[in-house]
Amino acid sequence: MFTGIIEEVGEVVDLELRGDSAVLHVRAAAVADDLAHGASIAVNGVCLTVVGWQAGESTAIDFDVMGETLKRSVVGGLAAGDRVNLERAVRADTRLGGHVVQGHVDGIGVVVSRTTGNEWEAVRFGLPAELARFVAEKGSVAIDGVSLTVTGVGPDWFEVGLIPETLRATTLGTKAAGDSVNLEVDVLAKYVARLLETRP
């Protein structure tokens, strides 16, 4: 489980495609402090398992990526030099600063537009039709792993407001119209919808 509070922005070293799977190598500093084989780290909001690392001036962390992840997220399009949001799994003795984020990407959204304010930006994202019912104004959503509050919704879009700290400390500050992002809707909304679908 994660909180959607990004710890650092790392850099992709390489994505080795291996048929219907891949190995992703990401350079990091802060999240590499207490690495353990099998640990979970969210990479752009995708929960990935640490399978190895190479220490040096900075640490390159290795993650296995299965076909389902390549199909449902933007991980398969990553290339050397791309910046990615990183967060270690939440500890039981820490504050839950964002919202409950599983690292299970529900779909891919696209940046539609950006509107600049005095100290912040409003960003509109295109929303896949099958996810629209899970996104509500003032509800939570994770975009590339960043916990955000929805400020507006439409039939096929939603908006969020990005404060200066989010613009500075995550990759969302550099996303342009047409860029794809990973979306994870609120897990509580998904469970409520499933319960309503299966009630007798």
Residue 99: the pLDDT is: 87
Return the CATH number of 107-198, one of 3.40.50.1110, 2.40.30.20, 3.10.20.30, 3.40.50.150: 2.40.30.20
Residue 92: the pLDDT is: 83
Residue 48: the pLDDT is: 97
Q: Do domains 8-88 and 107-198 have the same CATH topology?
A: yes
Give the Cα separation of 30 and 28 in Å (integer): 6
User: Model pTM?
Assistant: 0.92
pLDDT in single tens digits along all 200 residues of the chain: 999 999 999 999 999 999 999 999 999 999 998 899 999 999 999 999 999 999 877 899 999 999 999 999 999 999 999 999 999 999 888 877 888 899 999 999 999 999 998 889 999 999 999 999 999 999 999 999 999 999 999 999 999 999 999 999 999 999 999 999 999 999 888 888 888 888 77
Top-tier CATH class for 8-88: mainly beta
Residue 97: the pLDDT is: 81
The residue extents of the domains of the chain are 8-88, 107-198
Return the residue matching tokens 């500050």: 173
Residue 33: the pLDDT is: 87
